[in-house]
Amino acid sequence: MNKILFIEDDIPTGNVYKDKFSKNYDVLWATTGIDGVSFAVRQKPEIIILDLMLGGDLNGFDVLRELKLHAETQKIPVIVLTNLEAQEAAVKEAGAVECFIKTNTSIDKIEDVIQKYLK
């Protein structure tokens, strides 16, 4: 099964991810940027779903940058799901392949996107 790493600090949202995707994917869920990076490095998921507004030392951008620096994680496509406005350009510049506003995106759409990048 493909591994998807979700880096998300909001518990309900993370639970939704878990519920939605555990069936078909190996779901990894980190609630802080640091955990996210270390999961990514160690577990090398196929896809990373990243929230921007993370608590702790690293925010989403930092995570993105970190991921791009580590050889293990450089190539993993990162899809940013955020509720922050106007981040698309910035995140794409930081290395994300997609950026969606959570409230404007259906969970199915998200799955489609995941599928797309798994290929």
Partner 1 sequence: MTIKKKLTIFIPLVISIISMSLGAFFVWFLFNNEFNSASRNLQSVSMLKAESINNYIDDSENYVANLGASSVFRDLLKSLRGSSDYSVKKNLADTRINRILSTNSSLSGLDLIDTEGVILDSNDKTSIGKNVSNQEYFIEARKKTYIKEAYNLVSTPINDDATGKFLGIAVTRLSPGYIEKFATDIGVGSSGEVFLINRAGYFLTASRYLGSSVVLTKQISTDNTKACFDPNGQTQKTGFGRVFFFNDYRGVPSIGTNAYISQTDWCLITKYDKGEFYAPIYLLIEITIVGVIISAIFTIIVLELLSSRFVSAITKLQKGVEVIENGNLEYKLSMTRTDEIGDLSRSFDKMIMSLKESRAAIDTKVAEQTEEIRRKSDETKRQQMAILNILEDVEAEKNKASQERDKINIIVQSIGDGVVVLDSKMNIILVNRKAIEISGYSSSDEILSKGFNKVFRFASESDPKVPKNDFITKALTEGVNTEMTSRTVLTRKDDTTIAVSDSCAPLKDKNGSIIGCVVVFRDVTKERAIDRMKTEFISLASHQLRTPLTAIKWLLEMLLGGDAGTLTSSQTEYIKNISLSNERMIALVNSLLNISRIESGRLSVEPMPTKLPELVTNTIKEVQSKANEKKIEIRFEADPNLPTVNIDPKLIGEVYLNLLTNSVNYTGTGGVVRVVIGMNSTQIVSQVIDNGIGIPENQKNRVFERFFRADNAVKFRPDGTGLGLYLIKEIVEASGGNMWFESTEGKGSTFYFSIPISGSLPKKGEISLT
CA-to-CA distance for 54 and 60, rounded, in angstroms? 6
Q: Does residue 65 interact with partner 1 by CB under 8 A?
A: yes
Residues in contact with partner 1, shown as a per-residue x/- string from 7 to 36 under the rule CB under 8 A? ---x-xx-xx--xx----------------
Which residue stretch of 24-32, 42-50, 79-87 sits at the interface with partner 1 (rule: CB under 8 A)?
Answer: 79-87
Phi, psi of 10 (to 5 degrees): -80, 120
CA-to-CA distance for 25 and 19, rounded, in angstroms? 11
Integer CA distances (angstroms), 39 to 6, 27, 44, 100, in order? 10, 11, 7, 22
Considering only residues 87 through 106, tell me which ones interact with partner 1, judged by CB under 8 A. 88-90, 101-104, 106
The only residue of 107, 112, 115, 116 in contact with partner 1, by rule CB under 8 A: 107
CB of 11 to partner 1, least distance (A): 9
